[in-house]
Structure 1
Amino acid sequence: MNLALTVLEIVAPVFLLAGVGFAWVRLGFEYRIQFVTRLAMTLAVPCLIFTALMKTELDKAAIGWFVLAALAGHALLALAGAALVRVMQLERRSYLAPFIFGNTGNLGIPLSLFAFGEAGLGYAVAMLAVSAVLSFTFGIYLVAGEGGGGKALREPMVWATLLGALFLWQGWQTPQFLTNALDLIGQMAIPLMLITLGVAVARLTPGKTGLAVLLSLIKVTLSAAIGWGLGLAFGLDYTAFGVLVLQLATPVAVTSYLLAEKFEADAQAVAGMVVVSTLMSVAALPLLLSLLLEL
């Protein structure tokens, strides 16, 4: 009973806020998702990443090993996804990127924070940074067949990560008044991301739902297994282990749909994976959390 209550306390705020966004749209209220997304990704999330890295008390070596494990996790998912796409004779441009990249921002960060505290947040933003850089480079290549290095260098999240890593490495701190201001801006990120996730799911028109259910089930199972195996292989501490497993197992990122739409892949099929995997995570992530909290 205590474990179930703990899991509920962690996941309920996350899905309730996403539900607010879903209900907001269904009730017919205006939500300018392009403006809110730009505000979050250009200002709020970079401030959250920078301050989390600058203020973290995590060991630098521990973060380094976690980043290596995160890179390995994405690489293994890419290999497994490529094999799956080939065996099932699916279009690589549409299906491989969604299989690799999870929703490490909108869902992964708040879940990691609520489950593992400030230490979990530090690891979670490191995972988001890894995922974002790979998504804006390798992810764009998979969907569009062209490099995305220039796109990655234009992303404030990337520069916030590099600057935060520099401050962490050197042990620097911004003046307190500036830290307080950046903290306030960063605090917008989590509620904005969760509400926007609910809005995006409400507005998406899913396609090929039967295939989406199968792929989403394979993705969450394989992702959790890969995260668990890498956590053991890299000897990660309890918090890093939990965040790695949780973040890799997050549902398909909404950015995968946006890339498919932009580069004329099968956007409706990707929308199906986003919606189905997000709904599936309502049951899958609490179950995974209960296993992690029992360690």
Structure 2
Amino acid sequence: MLDILAITGPIYLCILAGYAAVRWGIFTKAEMRVLGKFVLQIALPALLFYALASRPLADVLRPGYLLVYTAGSLLVLLGGLLWWWKVQGKPLTESAYVAMGMTCSNSGYVGYPMMLLLFGPLGGVVLALNLIVENLVKLPLLFTLADAGAHEGARPTAGQVLRQTLDRLVRNPLIVGIVLGLAVALSGWQMPQVLTRAVTLFSGSAGGLALFIIGGNLVGLQVKGMRRQVGLIAVGKLLMHPAAVWLAIAVCAALGLPVPEGDLKAAAVLSAAMPMLGVYAILAQRHGHEGFTSAALLGTTAASFFTLSAILWLLRHSAGWLG
């Protein structure tokens, strides 16, 4: 178990350091937002670009990974949405944000540092694959459902949904980094050393700083009065989502469909086991649901230390999953 804590321990110590820095007044939450902007706009795009541009295209495009991660995510997304909307009788917009919390992982701030510790340079490829599924499948679907619930009589048309999705994508620096990296990998161009070193200097700052920011942003969040909703989201995100991806791997393999091999198989399950994306509550402000989403972010991130450690232990003691 000590070897598992050697992986998860540094991750959560960095988060704790960020929390303490804001709690004790060394940094303010406003300053954390500035640091977060640097990570999202500069460091992570540089990381994604280099991770993709420095590899052959065949090493980057992994259809088996995309298939099982998408299938497992959609299974939990639709299940969580229908449970909260139809069984619990809650509004569609609220249900969409519950489903978002259960299926949209923090692949950049928490996932990438852990993948880097476990799998080295492959962590950048895993991050890119996860962001493709998040930005092209899950988030467009969830935003459409949230908007549909908020405007019952005026549902967005397919054309409006497509335009909104494309607008978000072209303005997202992470997607720009992925597209440029894929373009370089496709062209076979060898980047000059001076460019490579400049990009790696920026990308190297992403991991620890991202975790520090997550901790700082948790200061002031409260769980009181929302335990039922927070508990459902946490169980869905930390247990059901990785279980669904594991199930998707087993089913696809049985049907003869492509599945991830080696480290990528474990990476898919672990990516699903991460807490929800760090801007979860910010996204929910659009429809006035920042209360329960902030509480869910705090509760799920805290609980993920224990669930991730347990899942890592299970994978390590399952033949062919994690060395």
TM-score (norm 2): 0.83
Identify which of 97, 100, 111 aligns with 1:97: 100
* Residue 53 (structure 2) pairs with residue 66 (structure 1): no
* Residue 202 (structure 2) pairs with residue 203 (structure 1): no
Residue 40 to residue 129, structure 1, CA distance change in 2 (3 Å):
farther
Q: CA deviation at 1:235?
A: 2.9
Moved more, 61-70 or 103-112: 61-70
Amino acid at match of 1:240: L
Q: Which residue of 2 aligns with 1:22?
A: 19
Gaps of 5+ in 1: none
Q: Which residue of 1 aligns with 2:113?
A: 110
Mapping for residues 39-188 of structure 1, pairs under 5 Å? 39-56=38-55, 59-60=58-59, 63-85=62-84, 86-94=86-94, 95-134=98-137, 137-145=140-148, 147=161, 148-149=164-165, 150-188=167-205
The alignment-based identity, stated in percent, is: 24
1:231-258 deviations in whole A, cap 9, x for unaligned?
A: 3324321211111101112112222210
How many residue pairs were aligned? 291
Moved more, 223-232 or 20-29: 223-232
Amino acid at match of 1:202: V
1:76-122 deviations in whole A, cap 9, x for unaligned?
A: 22212222212222333232222221211111111111122222432
Q: Which residue of 1 aligns with 2:230?
A: 212
1:58 and 1:122 in contact (8 A); partners too: no
TM-score (norm 1): 0.90
Larger radius of gyration: 2
Q: CA deviation at 1:227?
A: 1.3
Identify which of 275, 282, 292 aligns with 2:298: 275
Q: CA deviation at 1:204?
A: 2.4
Whole-angstrom distance in 2 between the partners of 1:60 and 1:291: 27
Q: Which residue of 1 aligns with 2:36?
A: 37
2:274 and 2:304 in contact (8 A); partners too: yes
Amino acid at match of 2:87: V
Moved more, 163-172 or 22-31: 163-172
Q: CA deviation at 1:140?
A: 3.0
1:56 and 1:119 in contact (8 A); partners too: no
Amino acid at match of 1:89: G
Superposed CA RMSD in Å reads 2.1
1:138-179 deviations in whole A, cap 9, x for unaligned?
A: 343333446432122201111111111222233333211101
Mapping for residues 196-275 of structure 1, pairs under 5 Å? 196-206=213-223, 208-232=226-250, 233=252, 234-261=258-285, 263-275=286-298
Residue 124 to residue 278, structure 1, CA distance change in 2 (3 Å):
same
1:18-69 deviations in whole A, cap 9, x for unaligned?
A: 1110111111222312211211111110000111112246844762322233
Whole-angstrom distance in 2 between the partners of 1:210 and 1:74: 22
Amino acid at match of 2:294: A
Whole-angstrom distance in 1 between the partners of 2:55 and 2:205: 19
Gaps of 5+ in 2: 149-155, 253-257
